[in-house]
Structure 1
Amino acid sequence: MKKKSNLHPTIFVIFGGTGDLNKRKLAPALYNLYTEGYMPEKYSIIGTGRTSFTDKKYQEEILNSVNQFSRNGKVKKEQWAEFEPNVHYCSVDISEEKTFENLKKEIEKYQKEFEEKTQVVFYLAVAPNFFPLIAECLKKYKLTEDEDNCRIVIEKPFGHDLETAKELNQLLSRIFTEKQIYRIDHYLGKETVQNMMAFRFANSLFEPLWNRNHIEHVQISVTEQLGVGDRGGYYEGAGALRDMIQNHLLQLLCLVGMETPINYDADEIRHRKVEVLKAMRPFKPEEISTNAVRGQYSKGWVEGKEVPSYRTEKGVDKNSNTETFAAVKFFIDNWRWQGVPFYLRTGKRLNQTSSIITIQFKDVPHHIFSAGATETWTQNRLIISIQPEMSIRLQVQAKRPGLKMVLNPVDMVFDYKGTYDTDTPEAYETLLLDVMNGDQTLFMRGDQVEAAWELVMPIINTWESKKSLNFPNYPADSWGPEEAEALIARDGFHWFTLPLKDKE
């Protein structure tokens, strides 16, 4: 294990400490940060919940979670023996305001033990309707007054629509400053997503090409083989557009479309992202039918198993109008991107689980080779794969070995597994460390959240006001509704998918 980091003493309070997010992601991430030497020398992790647990019982629960979900497998006894005493439990019922007094006493106890300035991180791993209650109680019990050493982390969704997003931002801004608020989107913590910044701005090769003069179109696809599973109740109030495009996919679009920042400063980078969202062409109601497609999956077969339709999933209305697939064509109206379409696609029960960004370059202006030599001709593409593999591919044309001039597309590949021996950290490890370091670069700012909602609200309002008459309109294990293919085919393009070998 590496030596301890130079972080200030930290108290990490997890609301929803007995919940699924903490068990699967947060607790394993914090433990992995400890084993890699990134936790402070003095720290305390306090899980909260309504259940009555002793510290010992809670430590056993966390041990089971880490053993099951950590990327490093089961814990080593000597490491767990050092980590375990820093894990504690405090019974807090969010609906019972007076129980926050228990939390305050617990925090003050560790602050006194650490005997130096201590930063406190409040992580809200709970349902969004509890965000206001928790924030107000933290303020009432004077747990938010130290602006330099108090931070709050909230999970998406950041509001249900533009109006509720504004309400949430206004509430949080009454209690916290913007520098204290960390709106976490785990997609931005993924290694390949972060590498996009390095790829774009640490290399001079692509900057002259990164504009409308050389790029024909951009595709961003985040697809899932799984259905909604046990999340049917939540998904009914969300849908694919809210759940994925409003946040994850628009964040990826911002990374592709942003202008070069002056420096690697959190606010500077977030300024550039907001500029992209504000430059995006708003939708008029009459334009939505030709620029946006929705779908809902029917029953089918996936990997030899029969799977149910969305409308028969647990917690779903049998006549549901909720989309499980969405594809939208966006434009960024500025000098760099004028006229270049950005196609975003996401859905459940599709043929693959994958997240890929494809930048297709314009064709060569003149073909000098014969038709026979270019039967498999494809335009140059830059493919950034976030999952299942982590790679960046540049597709170019090259001559096939032999006596004749025959061209074939070949990939120049940067593959994480083939290049580096070290394990890739989980997204939450990166983001939790950034929270403790006070680095907001990978976190969404309030105006960015509102700009994203403002962009998608015309589509949401139109879809909710007009019931789809053809749901369900795509079978499980397909690539979505036929209308999605038509959306991109009308412009002379097709959706790019990973080769079958990458699906394994």
Structure 2
Amino acid sequence: MQTDSSFTFVLFGGTGDLSMRKILPALYEAHRAGMLADSGKIVGVARHEADRAGYIEWVNGHVKPYVSKDGLDEAVWERFLARIEYVKLDLSKAEDFVLLRDAVNKLSGTRVFYLATGPSLFVPICHALASVGLNENARIVLEKPLGYDLQSSNAINDAVGEIFAEEQIYRIDHYLGKEPVQNLLALRFGNALFEPLWRREWVESIQITIAEELGVEARGDFYDNTGALRDMVQNHLLQLLSIVAMEPPHSMDSDSVRDEKLRVLRALKPIDPRDIQRVAVRGQYHAGVIRGTAVPAYATEPGVKKDSTTETFVALKVEIENWRWAGVPFFLRTGKRLADRVAEIVVNFRPVPHSALGPTALRPGANRLVIRLQPNETIRLYCLAKQPGEGMNLASVHLDLAFDQFFRENQMEAYQRLLLDVINGRLALFVRRDEQEAAWRWVEPILNDWAAANKAPKPYAAGTWGPAAASAMLAQHGTCWLEEEN
């Protein structure tokens, strides 16, 4: 389905890594699928010394490797490149924004300004856009991280909010655009099967994991001043938790969905500083081996301080203080240089109260739902069935919800879906300011405690699943991480 109308998509940071790997490939896939209005234009903006021909050459060299897994159609690619314009812009020069205004005014349709830049540039760019009248009838997309803490986040939001109304601001979290997250909403709120079970009476625990094999790569300077709690928990993990735990919305319009997510974030049980050591584990990777390749310790990575106490791993036990989830532990985990690249949500249902079929039916985790977000996007329901042969012997089996086999259409990548939502003015999958504030407010006591303690994180070898303390935290509740059970 094609976008509703024409558009002008202005991409700040137009030569940057995010633009090359994610944003322009996503726009190309939307173009290839016929989902962009024919008159829609893309304007790359950067300090790169180039004209349009030079920018197209740059895009050819840097974007092609990330598009079309099933092969690049050169004719389609050339038509996509025809959409692209380029404006060289120095943020310190007001006259460059006049040039940008003149270029944009020649184009038609909804105006989208995507800030694929560092957060320190968000406010200056917004002020400069307003100075030339480009903030009117426009939408602005803000990448994470939006601030370093609650105070800095509020400062950015206050400044941007003076220039753009809340309904013009799209705070992007690409995990919310992933197909399994969308299907989680469909499973919960489109079927009578799951909703009666989606509560404390039938759910024993829930795990949410985002694990990476990669280290900090070339982002050592940035990461050493950020850490895993700010980089992943405050946004991605808490957003996924709110989707899992939210009440059924009145409708799927943007405010109905985000109102319910906000209620979850506000119901998070505050962590008492005296309990932080018991419910929060922080770690830092040391040298190790991943898939046969030796990798260095975090403290020896370029840009990282040798005595750094920045965490590269976090595991948390979280509780939600409401009637649906009281007493159900949510275990959140994220880390770098772990044993595998995986993002998944694991819903462990309670075992049957009594089994006439032996102890297997009483085993924790015998019934569970596993929503895999990456690397392959699947939803799998585990249950028990009789093994063939004599006797009543039970074994774990699973039902695969293989959407790629049932639906012949290609699945959208997260950025593709979210960019189309921006162009079409759909806000449901973007983070509202009050959600962001609630998340920061809950995270801050942990940040403050760790900063005050100034202790070294628990070490773990690269290529493992993190510090042993993360497993011990779950063992106290009679459970374990999914990969440990297997």
- Is TM > 0.5 for Structure 1 vs Structure 2? yes
Structure 1: how far apart are the matches of 2:249 and 2:2?
Answer: 29
1:484 is matched with which residue? 470
| Alignment-derived partner of residue 374 in structure 2 | 387
Q: Aligned match of 1:50 in 47, 51, 58?
A: 47
Change beyond 3 A, Cα 1:281–1:376 = closer
Question: For the structure 1 residues 56 and 74, does the alpha-carbon distance in structure 2 shift closer, same or farther, using more than 3 Å as the test?
Answer: farther
**What CA deviation, in whole Å up to 9, does each residue of 1:207-254 have, x standing for no partner?**
111111111111101111111111111111111111111111111100
Give the equivalent residue in structure 2 for 1:14. 11
Amino acid at match of 1:382: L
- 2:229 corresponds in structure 1 to 241
Question: How far apart, in 2, do the equivalents of 1:108 and 1:291 lie?
Answer: 54
Q: Which residue of 1 aligns with 2:424?
A: 437
In structure 1, C-alpha distance between the alignment counterparts of 2:255 and 2:354, rounded to whole Å: 44
Aligned equivalent of 1:124, options 89, 98, 115: 115
Corresponding residue for residue 338 of structure 2 = 350
CA distance, structure 2, for counterparts of residue 218 and residue 431 of structure 1: 27
Q: In structure 1, which of residues 312, 328, 331 is the aligned counterpart of residue 319 of structure 2?
A: 331
Summarize deviations over 1:103-126 as a string: whole Å, max 9, x none.
Answer: 011111224xxxxxx211000000
In the alignment, structure 1 segments of 5+ residues that lack a partner are 112-117
Question: C-alpha offsets along residues 85-113 of structure 1, whole Å, 9 cap, x if unaligned?
Answer: 221110111122321111011111224xx
Equivalent residue of 2:162, what SS?
helix
Residue 8 of structure 1, CA deviation: 2.0
Within 5 A, what are the aligned runs for 1:436-455? 436-455=423-442
State the alpha-carbon separation in 2 of the partners of residues 213 and 375 from structure 1. 16
Distance in 2 separating the partners of 1:347 and 1:377: 25
Which residues of 2 match residues 293-332 of structure 1 at below 5 A?
Answer: 293-332=281-320
Q: Is the 8 A contact 1:298 1:472 kept in 2?
A: no
Which residue matches 1:108? 105
1:27: how far off? 1.0
- Aligned partner of 1:138: which letter? L
Partner of 2:88: 91
Please, what TM-score do these two structures have when normalized by structure 2?
0.97
* C-alpha spacing 1:403/1:74, structure 2 compared with 1 (3 Å): closer
Question: Residue 40 of structure 1 aligns to a residue in which SS?
Answer: coil
Match of 1:369 in 2: 357
Can you list the C-alpha shifts for 1:265-299, whole angstroms capped at 9, x where unaligned? 11110000000000111112111111100000000
SS at structure 1 position matched to 2:11: strand
Residue 135 of structure 1, CA deviation: 0.5
Superposed displacement of residue 498, structure 1: 8.8
Counterpart of 1:409 in structure 2: which amino acid?
Answer: S
Equivalent position amino acid for 2:33 in 1 = E
| Cα separation, partners in 2 of 1:65 and 1:333, compared to 1, 3 Å | same
* Counterpart in the other structure of 2:79: 82
Residues 1:175 and 1:195: Cα distance change in structure 2 (over 3 Å): same
What is the match of residue 142 of structure 1? 133
Per-residue deviation at 1:168? Answer: 1.2
- Give, in angstroms, the shift of residue 367 of structure 1: 1.9
Checking the alignment, whether the CA contact within 8 Å between 2:458 and 2:467 is kept in structure 1 is no
**Superimposed CA distance per residue, residues 124-167 of structure 1 (whole angstroms, 9 cap, x where no aligned partner):** 00011000100110111111123xxx100010011110101111
Asked if the contact 1:66–1:74 (Cα under 8 Å) also holds between the matched residues in 2, the reply is no
Give the corresponding residue for 1:258.
246
Provide the residue aligned with 2:414 in structure 1: 427
- In 2, distance between residues paired with 1:352 and 1:291? 24
Superposed CA offset, 1:143-195 (max 9, x none): 1123xxx1000100111101011111111111111110000111111111111
Determine helix, strand or coil for the equivalent of 2:249. Answer: coil
CA 1:447–1:370 in 2, change beyond 3 Å: closer, same or farther? closer
The match for 2:144 is 156
Distance 1:71 1:78 in 2: 13
Q: 1: distance between equivalents of 2:207 and 2:43?
A: 42
Which shifted more, 97-106 or 78-87?
Answer: 78-87
Partner-residue secondary structure (3-state), 1:230? coil
Preserved CA contact (<8 Å) 2:282 2:458 = no
Conserved 8 A contact 1:182-1:440: yes
- TM-score of the aligned structures, taking structure 1 as reference length: 0.93
Give me the whole-angstrom Cα distance separating, in 2, the residues matched to 1:337 and 1:254. 12
The alpha carbon displacement at 1:499 in A equals 8.9
Asked if structure 2 preserves the Cα contact closer than 8 Å seen for 1:298 and 1:474, the reply is yes
2-structure distance, mates of 1:99, 1:139: 13
Aligned to 1:224: 212
Determine if contact 1:219/1:357 at 8 Å carries over to the other structure: yes
Query: What residue is the counterpart of 1:114 in the other structure?
Result: none
Matches within 5 A, 1:487-502: 487-497=473-483
How far is the alpha carbon of 1:482 from its aligned partner? 0.9
**CA distance in 1: counterparts of 2:365 and 2:36, whole angstroms:** 48
Deviation at 1:41, TM superposition (A): 2.2
Match of 2:179 in 1: 191
Identify the residue that residue 63 of structure 1 maps to in structure 2.
Answer: 60
Q: Is the 8 A contact 1:377 1:397 kept in 2?
A: no
AA at the equivalent of 1:44: K
Report which stretch shifted further, 425-434 or 59-68. Answer: 59-68
Distance 1:205 1:96, change over 3 A: same
| Letter matched to residue 24 of structure 1 | R
1:377/1:407 contact within 8 Å kept? no
Q: 1:472 to 1:361 in 2, by over 3 A?
A: closer
Distance across 2 between alignment mates of 1:189 and 1:418? 20
Paired position in structure 2 for 1:133: 124
Distance in 1 (CA, whole Å) between partners of 2:454 and 2:481 is 27
Question: 1:360 aligns to what?
Answer: 348
Superposition deviation, residue 378 in structure 1? 4.5
Q: Does the CA contact (< 8 Å) of 1:376 and 1:408 recur in 2?
A: no
| Contact kept in structure 2, 1:381 and 1:396, CA below 8 Å | yes
Query: 1:66–1:75: 8 Å Cα contact kept in structure 2?
Result: no
Q: Does 1:399 align with 2:386?
A: yes
Q: Which 10-residue stretch deviates more, 212-221 or 377-386?
A: 377-386
2:351, 2:364 within 8 Å by CA — same for their partners in 1?
no
